[in-house]
């Protein structure tokens, strides 16, 4: 063990049997190879292939080691490892490695492999609209148009980025599945009289926001669905927008879109969207994803306010506008935060010739990384392939969430009608995602 602590490659010379009746062997090799895999994946794989035949490990014990190796081999695109990954993958029972393998097949435009590896996903994973969409795209590329349409129709049932993309492929309306709830003044008076509501409001009046939220959300979780919806309506009526969003989560009101995506700061988004030339629904979607309308939100990285601006970014944009540096507390002012965030997003849009997908990715990951993804020499010929090519899971999820939220906000502004609303413009869908997209090059 001491030799391996100082030199991980020594694992290849370690004895096959450790501890009484070899009971320590599995834990030792799993721990050593996990560390080795993360430090030097190619060397760890070579070591494993060398020692695996002589080790008396159970199938489950081997699976732990090989799952980690396969994951890092794909994440790091280690040359010469794909055949080994493919040989062990069917026995790994690993959703994360299957996802990576499909994304690798998409990167290589190996459409038959896309079908093969999605088919090996467990039913719960495969049924996700994302994978139904890619089954459709792969079948479409292979000329299986009937199968493609069936999979698109399955994906289009979902209210999501890929569900909306599938609906556009079919030319059918988005399935918003919006739940309508109706409450009147009399019902609100009854809700206002509840002890939990009165305690919540009393705590708010004395500045105990945290305790007020805890009181409220406990009531939501322990209420009947009807009573929880009455509380959500009351929060909406009082314009407690951050608490309203948390209410829909606590009460699992996933289809109550008017409450999940309320008109918080709507006039400010419309005003600054118009002044900066930025799609106001994109601003709303970014804010909903970034802070869920909490004007004093503070991220672990230090981003602040509704649109989660870093203090340095806020200072830079303020100078650009001829304003004084708002400092770490001034940037929490909702109106200023939206103004600065709108201007910052406008600059990202200008950088990518108005492309909202690239600009949204840059808002999350930074323009330097997006420039790198666009300029890596490969080029991506479609928006969906660009999304899957984003190496950061956080950013992949972020752009999908923001763009689908944008559809929902615009649809709600139209009275819940998605007619005429599009996920992306024709240009955003058809442009090639490569270095040519950069306006600054």
| pLDDT at 294 exceeding the cut of 80 | yes
Please determine, for residue 376, whether its predicted confidence score (pLDDT) is greater than 90: no
pLDDT of residue 5: 60
User: Does residue 434 register a pLDDT over 80?
Assistant: yes
Specify the long-range contacts of residues 135-138, CB closer than 8 Å, at least 24 apart. 136/166, 136/169, 137/111, 137/384, 138/111, 138/112, 138/114
Give me the domains of the chain, ranges plus CATH numbers.
Answer: 185-254 (1.10.1240.20), 266-437 (1.10.530.10)
Mean pLDDT over 283-298 rounds to 97
Burial 118-148 (b: 16+ CB within 10 A, else e): beebeeeebebbbbbbbbbbbbbeeebeebb
Of 288, 240, 314, which is closest to residue 408 (Cα–Cα)?
A: 288
Task: Give me the pLDDT at residue 8, please.
Answer: 76
Six-digit token string for 287: 């804010």
pLDDT of residue 6: 58
Surface-to-core class of residue 184, CB atoms within 10 Å of its CB (0-12 exposed, 13-18 middle, 19+ buried): exposed
**pLDDT level of residue 350 (50, 70, 90 thresholds):** very high
CA distance linking residue 152 with residue 169, whole number of Å: 7
Query: What's the confidence (pLDDT) of residue 22?
Result: 85
202 pLDDT more than 90: yes
> What six digits make up the tokens of 219?
């009531």
pLDDT-derived band at 440 (thresholds 50, 70, 90) equals low
In the residue annotation, 290 being an active-site residue is answered as yes
What confidence score (pLDDT) does residue 377 get? 62
Among 96, 141, 149, CA closest to 121? 96
User: Which pLDDT value is given to residue 4?
Assistant: 64
Average pLDDT over residues 92-113: 97
Q: What is the mean pLDDT of residues 51-62?
A: 93
Nearest to 203 by CA among 218, 216, 217, 222: 216
pLDDT of residue 24: 84
pLDDT above 70 covers a percentage of the chain that reads 98
Q: What is the pLDDT of residue 41?
A: 97
> Given this model, what pLDDT does residue 7 score?
72
Question: Taking the chain, what is the end-to-end CA distance rounded to the nearest angstrom?
Answer: 52
Tell me what the mean pLDDT of segment 250-270 comes to: 98
Question: What sections of 76-160 are H helices per DSSP?
Answer: 82-88, 95-107, 111-119, 123-126, 129-141, 145-155
Has residue 143 got a pLDDT over 90?
yes
What does the pLDDT average to over 404-433?
A: 96
* Rounded Cα distance, 399 and 395, in Å: 6
- Give the tens place of pLDDT for each residue, 13-49: 788 888 888 888 899 899 999 999 999 999 999 999 9
Structure tokens at 169: 């492929």
Question: Cβ(327)–Cβ(309) under 8 Å?
Answer: no
Residue 433 zone, left/alpha/beta (φ > 0; ψ -120 to 50; rest): beta
How far is Cα 215 from Cα 222, in angstroms, rounded to an integer? 11
d(CA 104, CA 385): 11
Catalytic site residue from 66, 68, 290, 428:
290
Give CA torsion, residues 119, 121, 127, 133, to 10 deg. -60
Is the pLDDT score of 3 beyond 70? Answer: no
Binned at pLDDT 50, 70 and 90, residue 2 comes out as: low
Residue 379, helix vs strand vs coil: coil
Lowest-confidence pick of 29-33, 96-100, 242-246, 398-402: 29-33
344-367 average pLDDT score: 97
pLDDT classification of 285: cutoffs 50, 70, 90: very high
**Token pair of 2 as six digits:** 């001491």
Does residue 378 have a pLDDT over 80?
no
Categorize the per-residue pLDDT at 233 as very low, low, confident or very high, splitting at 50, 70 and 90. very high
Name 433's bridge partners.
380
């Amino acid at each position: 063990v001491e030799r391996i602590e100082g030199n991980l490659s020594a694992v290849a010379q370690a004895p096959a049997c450790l501890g009484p009746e070899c009971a320590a062997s599995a834990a030792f090799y799993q721990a050593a190879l996990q560390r080795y895999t993360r430090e030097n994946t190619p060397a760890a794989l070579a070591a494993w292939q060398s020692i695996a035949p002589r080790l008396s490990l159970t199938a489950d014990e081997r699976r732990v080691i090989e799952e980690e190796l396969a994951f890092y081999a794909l994440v790091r695109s280690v040359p010469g490892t794909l055949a080994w990954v493919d040989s062990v993958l069917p026995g790994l029972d690993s959703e994360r490695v299957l996802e990576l393998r499909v994304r690798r097949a998409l990167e290589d435009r190996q459409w038959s492999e896309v079908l093969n590896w999605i088919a090996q996903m467990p039913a719960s994973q495969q049924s996700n609209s994302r994978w139904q969409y890619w089954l459709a795209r792969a079948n479409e590329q292979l000329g299986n148009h009937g199968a493609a349409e069936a999979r698109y129709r399955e994906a289009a049932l979902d209210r999501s980025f890929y569900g909306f993309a599938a609906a556009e492929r079919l030319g059918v309306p988005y399935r918003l599945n919006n739940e309508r709830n109706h409450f009147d003044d009399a019902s609100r008076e009854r809700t206002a009289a509840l002890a939990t509501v009165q305690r919540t409001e009393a705590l708010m009046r004395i500045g105990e926001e945290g305790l007020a939220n805890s009181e409220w959300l406990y009531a939501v979780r322990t209420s009947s669905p009807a009573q929880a919806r009455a509380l959500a309506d009351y929060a909406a009526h009082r314009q407690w927008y951050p608490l309203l969003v948390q209410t829909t989560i606590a009460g699992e009101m996933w289809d109550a879109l008017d409450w999940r995506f309320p008109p918080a700061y709507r006039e400010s988004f419309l005003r600054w969207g118009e002044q900066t030339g930025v799609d106001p629904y994109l601003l709303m979607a970014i804010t909903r994803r970034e802070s869920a309308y909490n004007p004093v939100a503070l991220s672990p990285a230090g981003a602040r306010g509704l649109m989660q601006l870093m203090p340095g970014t806020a200072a830079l944009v303020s100078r650009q506008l001829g304003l004084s540096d708002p400092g770490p507390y001034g940037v929490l002012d909702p109106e200023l935060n939206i103004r600065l965030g709108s201007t910052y997003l406008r600059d990202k849009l200008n950088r990518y010739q108005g492309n909202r997908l690239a600009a949204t990715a840059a808002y999350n990951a930074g323009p330097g990384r997006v420039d790198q993804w666009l300029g890596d020499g490969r080029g991506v010929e479609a928006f969906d392939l660009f999304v899957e090519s984003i190496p950061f899971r956080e950013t992949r999820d972020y752009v999908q969430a923001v763009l689908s939220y944008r559809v929902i906000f615009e649809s709600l502004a139209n009275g819940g009608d998605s007619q005429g609303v599009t996920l992306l413009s024709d240009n955003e869908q058809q442009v090639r995602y490569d270095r040519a997209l950069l306006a600054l090059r």
